[in-house]
Chains A and B, each alone.
Chain A
Amino acid sequence: MHQSTQNGSPFNWLDERVPISKLVQFLSRKEVPRHKHTFWYYFGGLTLFFFLVQVVTGILLALHYRPSPEAAHESVVYIVNEVAHGWLIRSIHSWSANLMVAMLLVHMFSAFLLKAYRRPRELIWISGVLLLLVVLGFCFTGYLLPWDTVAYFATLIGTEVPKTLPIIGDWGVSVLKGSQEIGAETLARMYTIHIVILPLTAIVVIGFHILLNQIHGSSIPTTALEQKPPIPFFPNFVLRDALAWTLGFISLVALSVLLPTGIGEKADPFASAPAGIRPEWYFLPLYQSLRIAPASVFGISGEFLVNALVAAVGVFWLLVPFLDRSAAENRRSRLFTAIGILLIFYIAGTVLLAYTT
């Protein structure tokens, strides 16, 4: 590279102002541990890849989408029917959201089971959990945008969830809805959160997450007893990542083209909720837990108990690096492994149950 760049070349001009060669040197010195669990390292990159696809397709959709109850549904139909490749762009946006959540869950649970949150990587874990919330926020706010019947009633139910929380419950609902009903204010809020607030938050948190990852490097699991020589990050690991991204893109294209995303009837606030309505698969654990919870336990509302339990699990999940003392001392922590596996089974079980009942 340096031989091909002469003094006074555009590269040298740029390199003097933006130290690209130093960055390349840093990346070529960086190494990725190589052991029997190295495979799981690819899922963080795949999550980032699907996020980038979301950004690009989201910008294209925003060029034609109109965020008002009168025009939202028509604008989505217009995007699909009239805009060149609009159906494909919308379908890619929708499918990459699903794949992003799936990759994020795999990345998070693999990090959990491999105890990647051990000192000094506590903040990498915490920023990752925050990213999960941001991604779920993206999905929730994006769901209403097509303004069809299912989106309308799913949002109506979803925005009522914080209501059971003490003190901040009613405030939370009014912040989300913007008015008593799901209407123009709600759509405007969801759209603003979806295209401005969450992307800005995501960029900051992703930047922080990646920066810390570059500083500390990838975590080596305590169970990886036999280690092989590490993989140089550039170009060896980058090429592996590029291969994973290409395979991810192939899956995305296949799903988007063969199973394009549809749309329901335009939302009618005066109509009754359609039968069998259920949220997207990633919200099904919460939905199914609310369904199976008893109406009340010792006089306390079942809905409140489920929400409180989910909040408690969320706080536990966030604070795992400080609670798992065995992992902090580089010892095996079977209890936390069991908790992680139990949680995976609970999520998978509730999703299956919601689809089959």
Chain B
Amino acid sequence: MIQATRIAFGVLFLISDSLLAQESGTSNQLQFPDFTTRAIIAASSIAAFLVLAFLLYRKRKEVDRRAGL
């Protein structure tokens, strides 16, 4: 699982770098946080919003049941 996550992030890193280089040509003007920091930001926000999505899904199920849907 950890290995798969590493590979997935590695691929994303390569895509990210190549896209940036392609789009800007001079991406060194911009100082983005390094990839590890960005991956942590992405993973933690995605996890938080997935929890929210799950809670919304559960609430939806509950109100649907009450409405007889």
Residues of A within 8 A of B (CB): 34, 77, 80-81, 87-88, 148, 150, 229, 231-232, 235-236, 239-240, 242-243, 246-247, 249-250, 253-254, 257-265
* Contact digits for B11-54, partner A, Cβ 8 Å, 1 yes 0 no: 01001100110011111011111000011011001100110110
Please give, as numbers and ranges, the residues of chain B lying within 8 Å of A236 by CB-CB distance: 60, 63-64, 67, 69
Partner of A260, one of B20, B25, B50, B63: B20
Q: Shortest distance in angstroms between B43's beta carbon and chain A's nearest beta carbon?
A: 9
Shortest Cβ distance from B59 into A: residue: A239
Q: Is the CB of A260 within 8 A of B38?
A: yes
Q: Is the CB of A246 within 8 A of B56?
A: yes
Please give, as numbers and ranges, the residues of chain A lying within 8 Å of B20 by CB-CB distance: 259-260, 262
Please give, as numbers and ranges, the residues of chain A lying within 8 Å of B19 by CB-CB distance: 259, 262
Please give, as numbers and ranges, the residues of chain A lying within 8 Å of B42 by CB-CB distance: 253-254, 257-258
Q: Is the CB of B29 within 8 A of A77?
A: yes
Distance A243 CA – B50 CA, assembled complex (angstroms)? 10
Partner of A250, one of B16, B33, B49: B49
A interface SS class: helix
Q: Which 3 A-B pairs have the closest CB atoms?
A: A262-B24, A239-B60, A257-B42
Please give, as numbers and ranges, the residues of chain B lying within 8 Å of A259 by CB-CB distance: 12, 15-16, 19-20
Please give, as numbers and ranges, the residues of chain A lying within 8 Å of B12 by CB-CB distance: 258-259
Residues of B within 8 A of A (CB): 12, 15-16, 19-20, 23-27, 29-33, 38-39, 41-42, 45-46, 49-50, 52-53, 56-57, 59-60, 63-64, 67-69
Q: Is the CB of A247 within 8 A of B69?
A: no
Distance A77 CA – B30 CA, assembled complex (angstroms)? 6
Q: Is the CB of A254 within 8 A of B46?
A: yes
Q: Is the CB of B56 within 8 A of A243?
A: yes
Please give, as numbers and ranges, the residues of chain B lying within 8 Å of A239 by CB-CB distance: 56, 59-60, 63
**Given A258-B39, A263-B24, A264-B23, A249 and B32 touching (CB < 8 A)?**
no
Q: Is the CB of B49 within 8 A of A246?
A: yes
A-B contact pairs, 11 of them (CB 8 A): A77-B29, A87-B30, A236-B63, A236-B69, A250-B53, A257-B41, A257-B42, A259-B15, A262-B27, A263-B24, A264-B24
Q: Is the CB of B23 within 8 A of A262?
A: yes
Shortest Cβ distance from B45 into A: residue: A253
**Given A239-B60, A250-B53, A258-B12, A265 and B68 touching (CB < 8 A)?**
no
Q: Is the CB of B31 within 8 A of A81?
A: yes
Q: Is the CB of A246 within 8 A of B24?
A: no
